[in-house]
């Protein structure tokens, strides 16, 4: 007898103060009445990297194979999966249709590895709309940026390391 997979809703968001600049990410995992919130920050990054990192972190927090519905306001992430851009990048040696190297290849590789562990579907949610989980992710990601900036006195990059 095969055991059915747990069904998880994963809500994600990434944010940046400047692009590039200090960034934050957040993920909310929901299974029935159980909710787990995750967030973090990086000192020098981009919005797209934080959006990818949020999905990778949320999926990575799952201890067993699950059926996951990823809800993201990132057109970049959702379209890359749903419109098969990633499949084309892989076929084309990680080059875009313009023959340029795909940005954020390190995170795309990591996401593809993580996706193999689960059954995953991606769903676009409107950004900055009245969507409670997306709004909460946005709050968590922005709070992570603020926490990071307070921890290093608001300095960025090498300036923070050399003072």
pLDDT for position 33: 94
CATH class label, 6-155: alpha beta
d(CA 120, CA 38): 19
CA torsion angle 24 123 66 4 (round to 10): 160
> Quick one: tokens of 3?
């055991």
**Phi, psi (5° rounding) for residue 40?**
-170, 175
Is 152 designated active site?
no
Is 98 designated active site?
no
pLDDT for position 81: 98
What crossing angle do the helices spanning 75-82 and 47-60 adopt, rounded to 10°? 60
Checking if the pLDDT of 35 tops 50, the result is yes
Q: 64, 128, 130, 153: which is the annotated catalytic residue? A: 128
Q: Would you give the DSSP letter of residue 131?
A: -
d(CA 45, CA 52): 11
91, 33 contact by CB (below 8 A):
no
- Assess whether the previous peptide bond of 69 is cis (omega < 30° from 0): no
Which residue, among 38, 99, 36, 111, has the nearest Cα to 74 in the 3D structure?
111
Is 138 designated active site?
yes
Is 51 designated active site?
yes
**pLDDT for 119-145, tens place per residue?**
999 999 988 778 899 999 999 999 999
Q: Report domain extents, the chain.
A: 6-155
Q: Model pTM?
A: 0.89
Is 34 designated active site?
no
pLDDT for position 143: 95
Is 106 designated active site?
no
């Amino acid at each position: 007898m095969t055991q059915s997979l747990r069904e998880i809703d994963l809500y994600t968001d990434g944010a940046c103060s400047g692009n590039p600049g200090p960034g934050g990410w957040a993920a909310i995992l929901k299974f029935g009445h159980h909710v787990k919130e995750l967030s973090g920050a990086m000192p020098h990054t981009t919005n797209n990297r934080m959006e990818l990192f949020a999905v990778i972190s949320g999926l990575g927090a799952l201890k067993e194979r699950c059926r996951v519905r990823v809800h993201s306001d990132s057109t970049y992430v959702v379209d890359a999966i749903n419109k098969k851009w990633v499949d084309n990048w892989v076929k084309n040696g990680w080059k875009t249709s313009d023959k340029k190297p795909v940005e954020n290849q390190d995170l795309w590789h990591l996401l593809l590895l993580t996706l193999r562990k689960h059954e995953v579907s991606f769903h676009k949610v409107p950004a900055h709309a009245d969507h409670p989980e997306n709004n909460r992710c946005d709050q968590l990601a922005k709070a992570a940026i603020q926490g990071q900036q307070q921890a290093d006195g608001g300095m960025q990059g090498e300036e923070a390391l050399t003072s």
